[in-house]
Structure 1
């Protein structure tokens, strides 16, 4: 938080609270790629200190309408019995739209929630609790939140994907499957959180303390939220399908306790496949912020290389591949050879030294530590690509040539147009091979994760 931002926020609170306010203990938090998030303590004239969270739109990408909707939905969600942070202020500081909320104590980092011993007792209870919370969200009257967006989800996803003009065989397979297996429209539209998942939940040893990040709230099918929570990306390596916490059956049972009915397994599966494709497209969208030159963030750059993880998950969800090990070419690699006439250590060893520095020797605030880990991952990807890409390119060209196709774009367009049968074994083998090659460079360990 800049000093100017801090001072304007202090003045705004002083006016609202009717007396002088001290703003202290402020620090930037590491989470959130789309907004800047800060923690701070505001002490009022009566000596009471309020722990707060400030979320601001990035200066280059303001979205005041979204912030206004989020402020409105926080109020009505609390009335519906959904655990949410109390809204303290909403408006503009230094030209940046913001939300100021109470700071709820707990943990949001998924790997801690899924692995730390202090959450061992509460983990088995979370899946059913999450089902109940989602049912309460879906009871919020649509009319109580002004200007909620609504659209056909599959058309919207397809349009978003195609705007990049980056056809991908796996995503074409997924979109074809979604179109062919779409469940009938039988459920009334409701308020959908839009990003209800592990990572956007504040949890302590007693359960869910708060549901966060309502910026994607819209009108839609309630099963969308249930399916999104079950997307494999939000399990963070754990086996259980509901955010890594538990089985789908528990989620649906908790949902039925409040909603009075439960979706069918096929319906939930459709939305889970949809969510997996959606996350692939959103990763690609975030990467576009880097590729376009608008924001040279290493976080956005690396998100572009995570698309293949979601492509792999699409294949898993469609039942056309199985989890299995992919060797990591960097495992145990200590080569210091240099290409003549250059001195040792060579390029790969230099990159290894940078990777080691970023993972083990950097210090600073949490955001810097987080970005250092992302940067180390970027270096590892670059090392693997340098070692593997030439041979992979030759192998994949032979795969495509066997189908009479020049490249992945041609394969994707052939799947889209029906020029090749989407479920043909030879086609699926080429798609699997391409995705596996990309994983071998981007994240070889991902392919071995259990999927249920």
Structure 2
């Protein structure tokens, strides 16, 4: 055994944070089969520093096809932070001699990520009035990051995304008429490649935003970042599944598309509403197919967890959402 997570972190931190005495309270927050997130405090004579470790432990394989990888994620967060995008500061990128796997350590940002609290608690009431505009502004700044400085990322086009989604859907061998309708609509309304490909965050939504009473404090989870159509990010944050019951507020359950677009345009970038709608349909279908994948894994194993089944059943909700989105628009 290489040692406990506390021992490994203490040794690791001592190598790059001068004066650090120890590490205390490492607590695993979340993680799936290949990645973990740990919160801990670095003890220092000048005051403790709250930190987060995001890692794939030693022995785990490559990241899933869609994932950029933890090294690229760390690089993107460093670039975003340097450009003034609210992103946690990356303090250190793991090396093999740390025996902690691959990943990075970042400064902990205090705030809330649980949608129910953000959308309902009184302490976030003022923040809710400006969150949609802030989302637009932040996405504009993400999309303005120079492509030349980015790590190697996959490039996605509407046609490639449709092809990937259809392949995944067909693999389940469980036909769904509404998904068939959505796939046909997407093929018929494919807007083609965008005029200007940019960095796309890929998962800009509730759960990946740290929010305080003052608004958005940090954007998390850059693992699905890629290059492509910037309107994809604007469509994804409008998917009904991220509204958590507040269906009359299309942007995350807290704001309007108009405020989202206003924030984006105020930062100097142009919105194409028709392309945003296309990506909202695409995002809704994508989430529906992801839910089907969860149910498939629940049925076939090895993960028979109740959480898988609960997420899997939400595919029916996306069918209702798709029918609403594809209804004739007056």
Q: TM-score, normalised by structure 2?
A: 0.88
* Residue 243 of structure 2 corresponds to residue 253 of structure 1: no
* Residue 179 of structure 2 corresponds to residue 171 of structure 1: yes
CA separation of 1:35 and 1:237: change in aligned 2, threshold 3 A: farther
Q: How many Å separate the matches in 2 of 1:174 and 1:193?
A: 24
Q: Which residue number in structure 1 is paired with residue 235 of structure 2?
A: 227
CA contact (8 A) 1:232 1:241 kept: yes
CA separation of 1:170 and 1:70: change in aligned 2, threshold 3 A: same
3-state SS, counterpart of residue 315 of structure 1: helix
Query: Where does 1:52-67 land on structure 2 (aligned, <5 Å)?
Result: 52-57=51-56, 62-63=61-62, 66-67=69-70
How far did 1:34 drift? 6.8
Q: How many Å separate the matches in 2 of 1:314 and 1:227?
A: 13
* Residue 320 of structure 2 corresponds to residue 312 of structure 1: yes
Q: How many Å separate the matches in 1 of 2:169 and 2:93?
A: 33
CA contact (8 A) 2:71 2:103 kept: no
**Unaligned stretches of 5+ in structure 2?**
none
Q: How many Å separate the matches in 2 of 1:282 and 1:319?
A: 23
Q: How many Å separate the matches in 2 of 1:110 and 1:273?
A: 22
How far did 1:56 drift? 2.6
Q: Which residue number in structure 1 is paired with residue 89 of structure 2?
A: 86
CA contact (8 A) 2:55 2:100 kept: no
Query: Where does 1:33-112 land on structure 2 (aligned, <5 Å)?
Result: 35-44=35-44, 46-57=45-56, 62-63=61-62, 66-91=69-94, 94=99, 96-112=101-117
**Unaligned stretches of 5+ in structure 1?**
321-452
3-state SS, counterpart of residue 69 of structure 2: helix
Q: How many Å separate the matches in 2 of 1:33 and 1:208?
A: 29
CA contact (8 A) 2:57 2:100 kept: no
* Residue 205 of structure 2 corresponds to residue 197 of structure 1: yes
3-state SS, counterpart of residue 70 of structure 1: helix
CA contact (8 A) 1:57 1:63 kept: no
Q: TM-score, normalised by structure 1?
A: 0.65
Q: Which residue number in structure 1 is paired with residue 188 of structure 2?
A: 180
Q: Quick one: which of 132, 148, 152 aligns to 1:147?
A: 152
Query: Where does 1:21-420 land on structure 2 (aligned, <5 Å)?
Result: 21-29=21-29, 35-44=35-44, 46-57=45-56, 62-63=61-62, 66-91=69-94, 94=99, 96-151=101-156, 152-238=160-246, 239-264=248-273, 266-319=274-327
Superposed CA deviations along residues 104-159 of structure 1, whole A, max 9, x for unmatched, are 01111111110000111121111111101000000112221221011322222222
3-state SS, counterpart of residue 144 of structure 2: coil
Q: Which residue number in structure 2 is paired with residue 356 of structure 1?
A: none
CA separation of 1:216 and 1:260: change in aligned 2, threshold 3 A: closer
RMSD over aligned Cα, in angstroms?
A: 2.4
Q: How many Å separate the matches in 2 of 1:59 and 1:165?
A: 35
Superposed CA deviations along residues 45-73 of structure 1, whole A, max 9, x for unmatched, are x3431101122337785446600110110
Q: How many Å separate the matches in 2 of 1:70 and 1:108?
A: 19
Superposed CA deviations along residues 152-211 of structure 1, whole A, max 9, x for unmatched, are 222222223223333322211111111111224343111000000122111111111000
CA contact (8 A) 1:252 1:263 kept: no
Q: How many Å separate the matches in 1 of 2:126 and 2:30?
A: 27
More helix by share: 1
CA contact (8 A) 1:124 1:245 kept: yes
How far did 1:20 drift? 5.1
How far did 1:43 drift? 1.2
CA separation of 1:79 and 1:235: change in aligned 2, threshold 3 A: same
